[in-house]
Chain A
């Protein structure tokens, strides 16, 4: 049952609005030619790994230990390291929506507690935080949870690349499978985190691209 619940949460059909995000890819494609596979690896290693994946691991541990102060601290710091408005808005919009559906579907006390904290404005409820709490409550082991979530991110990335016309549907699947090494490294990095201070992101080009995207005249994606 644990595996089934994890599959359901990582499935792109689980409603959370992920299809509205290109995770920065659209801005790069508007700026010029881009190697989608290489960029995906960079994003996994330098943004998703030390950011969302690390937060997911820290939240999983904190929720398992019942340390809700650590949950709030991690969520707030994750929010703070997301520099662009559109990135922060997307992370909390998708997170809050997944929280609502997951709380109804899985009905775990951990998700109910997180809902309380989000509704009172105590914590922002970022996407990675909601998933960390969901997986912890469902008993999904932390290493499976982080690998699965990074896979879901990469799958969402290549899906955006198809819609942006940068990969055909077969190349997209080959790119996704080819990202396995980077997913493993990003997961290992996240699992090595000791506390919220290990959350970081140093992606100046991506941040500048995202800033340009916020004001783009035409765009298909929210991020």
Chain B
């Protein structure tokens, strides 16, 4: 039984996006959102899902292009699109997510088999949240390089996201970040919501992220 608080079947969701699990991935610039997506997509495809990726690049198509190169042969490049936001990323995923909804709708019209849509936000700050109309599940990505005090700093991204990922655990010793402190603080401020440690480049912890996403896939989804 899924106890998620968002309303999946309300009239706010465009018809084309009904039945599609929309996963929002946010977090500071350089924390590893793109790397997580690149590691996650092959796992989701391997589990029989059909995936689309929408990136919100702040200034270039760098992220969209990187994902296309990395997933060459794994995911059709036409299933990866970039949206220019003209502004701070939180506007495009929270205050007025209409252009992201439009991009998702257009992609589903083209590829009706997609059951999982990953929305990568442009890098933002700790206050980032996704509109519940845009994302059913909200994953926030921090990394150890930002310093082990980050989880303590809170902010809605850290405290309210459905899943907090702490990435780049491999470099923790080099940036003097104490993983135990980060994990303990994160669990303390998140009221029991899950925290997963990853090294997206090596794939550590990414299967657990896929498991978490699967646990949020509602019963009406055709591939649930």
Contacts and interface: CB of A to CB of B under 8 A. Distances in A.
A217 interface: yes
Contacts of A163: 86-87
Given A104-B11, A217-B60, A222 B98 contact: no
B92 A20 contact: yes
A15 B98 contact: yes
A220 B14 contact: no
A90 to B, nearest CB: 9
Contacts of A104: 11-12
Given A20-B86, A93-B102, A15 B95 contact: yes
Contacts of B14: 100
Nearest to B131: A15
Interface in A136-176: 160, 163
Contact of B99 (A97, A101, A217, A218): A97
B213 to A, nearest CB: 27
A94 B58 CA distance: 19
Interface string B74-105: 00000000011111000110011111011000
Contacts of B98: 15-17, 93-94, 97-98, 100-101
A21 interface: yes
Contacts of B12: 104
B220 interface: no
Interface of A: 13, 15-17, 19-22, 93-94, 96-98, 100-101, 104, 160, 163, 217-222
A221 B83 CA distance: 9
A93 B180 CA distance: 46
5 A-B pairs with least C-beta separation: A97-B98, A15-B96, A17-B99, A20-B86, A221-B86
B84 A96 contact: no
A219 B101 contact: no
B59 interface: yes
B59 A219 contact: yes
Nearest to B14: A100
B39 to A, nearest CB: 26
Given A17-B102, A101-B98, A218 B91 contact: no
B106 to A, nearest CB: 8
A63 to B, nearest CB: 23
Contacts of B83: 20, 222
Given A100-B14, A160-B86, A16 B102 contact: no
Contacts of B58: 220
Given A15-B96, A100-B14, A104-B11, A20 B87 contact: yes
A96 B96 CA distance: 14
Contact of B60 (A13, A21, A100, A218): A218
Contacts of A19: 85-87, 91, 96
Contacts of A96: 102
Contacts of B97: 15
A86 to B, nearest CB: 10
Given A15-B97, A94-B98, A220-B84, 16 more contacts: A19-B91, A20-B83, A20-B85, A93-B99, A94-B99, A97-B101, A97-B102, A98-B98, A100-B14, A100-B98, A218-B59, A219-B84, A220-B58, A220-B59, A221-B86, A222-B84
A104 B12 CA distance: 9
A20 B100 CA distance: 11
Given A97-B101, A218-B59, A20 B84 contact: yes
Contact of B96 (A16, A217, A221): A16
Which among B12, B83, B86, B98 has the highest number of chain A CB atoms within 10 Å? B86
A75 to B, nearest CB: 18
Contacts of A222: 83-84, 86, 99
Contacts of B102: 17, 93, 96-97
Given A104-B11, A160-B86, A222-B84, A20 B59 contact: no
